[in-house]
Amino acid sequence: MTRSRLVLPALAIAVLATAVPSAAQTPLPATPAEDPLDARDARRVERMEKVVRELRAIVFQLRDTGKPVVVQPADTDARMQELSDRIGDLEQTLRRLNGSLETATFELEQAKRDNAALKTQIQGLADRLAAVEQAAAQATPAAGEEQAAAPGSEGNPTEAFAKARQLMLAGDYDGAEAAFAGFVQTWPDGPKSPEARYWWGKTLSVRGAHAEAASAYLGAIRGWPQTSWAPDAVVELARSMVALKKPQDACRTLAELPKRYPKAPANVTSRATATRTQAKCA
């Protein structure tokens, strides 16, 4: 705050203090008839008396304290108000900046959380895919090895496959099971081997051999072949998992169906929906 210092010379103030009060203390006439001054002169005298009193107070303060007398400028209140207004403006600006900073910080944290959630989701999908592929890779033809050599296991693979299919269409599931098992044993890497494993799994499911059926279905869909029977093999694998009380594996298998076979027939997708309900998939 700006202050102006006014140090009054002791000698001049003393003169004012001794000379002016004598005139100021002179009694005025008591009645208007004896008053030689008009109303305007009377007010002027009153102002002069006020100034004299203030000067005397300053002189006495200087005499008693021995310190310079500080006289406050007339516009001190105005300047204080101006400074107060400026401080208020600065506080409002600071509040706005703080609000903007808090908003930016919140948006940044939200973006970080969204990014982390997206990474988790991607990792979850990758893990599910890896689990299904690992299960398919670990599948063993143990059930097939236990089967005895079936009719048609020798000779032409096309004829052997057709004979096994004919047995199944005729309702001879035991004969079809033996025929497809023999086919897989004889031609494990043949072009018809995945489909033979699929039909073999069907015959195993009919007699409730769910573990052997799951192994056959896994062998059938290894590599996710783009064939007409592959989507149904995925659903049958999930159904076997449910029967084996492995609902999580069933759900992981069903999760791959729309990604691997987006154009699966309606009857397959409806069975997949029913199986998902049985497994209580999320």
Give phi and psi for 71, each to the nearest 5. -105, 120
Residue-by-residue pLDDT tens, the chain, 282 positions: 444 344 444 434 444 444 444 444 444 444 444 455 567 777 877 878 877 887 777 777 767 776 666 655 545 667 777 778 888 888 888 888 888 888 888 888 887 887 677 677 667 656 655 665 565 555 444 444 444 444 444 579 999 999 999 999 999 999 999 999 999 999 999 999 999 999 999 999 999 999 999 999 999 999 999 999 999 999 999 999 999 999 999 999 999 999 999 999 999 999 999 999 999 998
Give phi and psi for 5, each to the nearest 5. -100, 130
Q: Do residues 173 and 85 share a domain?
A: no
Domain final residue, candidates 52, 71, 90: 71
Q: Do residues 130 and 147 share a domain?
A: no
pTM greater than 0.75 (yes/no): no
Q: Which pLDDT value is given to residue 130?
A: 62
Domain final residue, candidates 39, 71, 103: 71
Q: Do residues 81 and 38 share a domain?
A: no
Q: Do residues 100 and 53 share a domain?
A: no
Domain final residue, candidates 138, 155, 178: 138
What does the block give as tokens for 221?
Answer: 């869909």
Domain that holds residue 224: 142-279
Q: Do residues 13 and 52 share a domain?
A: yes
The CATH number for 272's domain is: 1.25.40.10
Gap between the Cα atoms of 192 and 204, Å rounded:
18
Q: Do residues 63 and 85 share a domain?
A: no
Q: Do residues 158 and 266 share a domain?
A: yes
Identify which of 185, 139, 135, 138 has the alpha carbon closest to the alpha carbon of residue 164: 185
Q: Do residues 42 and 153 share a domain?
A: no
Q: Do residues 213 and 163 share a domain?
A: yes
Gap between the Cα atoms of 269 and 231, Å rounded:
9
Number of domains, the chain = 3
What lies within 8 Å, CB to CB, of 61 at 6+ separation is: 69
Q: Do residues 151 and 272 share a domain?
A: yes
Measuring CA to CA, how many Å separate 224 from each of 144, 241, 247, 259? 21, 18, 21, 11
